[in-house]
Amino acid sequence: MAYSPTTQTSPSSSSSSPPWDVFLSFHGEDTRKSFTAHLYTALKQRSLSTFRDDKELERGKYISQELLNAIENSMYAVIVLSPNYAFSRWCLTELAKIMERMKKTRLIILPVFYHVDPSHVRNQKETFVEAFAKHENDPRIVVDDLQTWRSALHKVGHISGWDLRDG
């Protein structure tokens, strides 16, 4: 079966939760049409089944079960941490699920620090502190989620990855 940029189907399975080689986590506005698009193409060229959520998210929507299943059924998670990553509740929820899976299974996490300093991710500085200030004032977000997200960012900021900053 051929890959399609909208269906993201594994060539080896027809089930609703195929085993994925790679799960891509990224903030769409920052990297969807640039870095993440090139990374996705490179992974496909290496014949790696790669889950990339191509749907634009509606404000207020919850993370989909399909996406959670894709995280559950992946061997690797590539997390593209960009300046606006933490402004997305969806990205932070994904990240928390990925970190939970790493702890419980053998999910291998490969962080990419795309135009962000890993210490800013780890310690929630710069745009990351701005994002949490916004989330703290959002009545839809519960304190437990904030703590889970902070912890996930702190942990992923300690994982050796690729630092792709300008200069």
CATH number for the domain spanning 28: value is 3.40.50.10140
- Note the pLDDT of residue 53: 82
Residue 5 lies in a domain: no
Give the angle 143-146-151 at the CA atoms, nearest 5°.
Answer: 130
Residue 6 lies in a domain: no
User: Of 82, 92, 14, 79, which is closest to residue 49 (Cα–Cα)?
Assistant: 14
Residue 85 lies in a domain: yes
Cross-strand pairs, 164: 114
Residue 7 lies in a domain: no
Residue 69 lies in a domain: yes
DSSP 4: -
Residue 15 lies in a domain: no
Catalytic residue among 29, 58, 66, 94: 94
35-45 as b/e: b if 16+ CB within 10 A: bbeebbeebee
pTM above 0.75, yes or no: yes
- Note the pLDDT of residue 106: 86
pLDDT 10s digit of each residue in the chain, 167 long? 222 233 343 333 334 445 899 999 999 888 988 999 999 999 999 999 999 887 544 455 566 788 888 999 999 999 999 999 999 998 999 999 999 999 998 899 999 999 999 999 999 999 999 999 999 999 999 999 999 999 999 999 999 999 998 75
Domain of 50, in residue numbers:
20-164
The structure tokens 């207020």 sit at: 60
User: Of 47, 19, 12, which is closest to residue 105 (Cα–Cα)?
Assistant: 19
Residue 84 lies in a domain: yes
Give CA–CA dist 161/82, Å, rounded: 13
Domain count, the chain: 1
To the query of whether residue 136 is one of the catalytic residues in this protein, the response is: no
- Note the pLDDT of residue 125: 96
Distances (CA, A) of 70 to 20, 61, 66, 82, 141: 7, 18, 6, 21, 24
- Other CB atoms within 10 Å distance of the CB of residue 149: 24
- Note the pLDDT of residue 49: 93
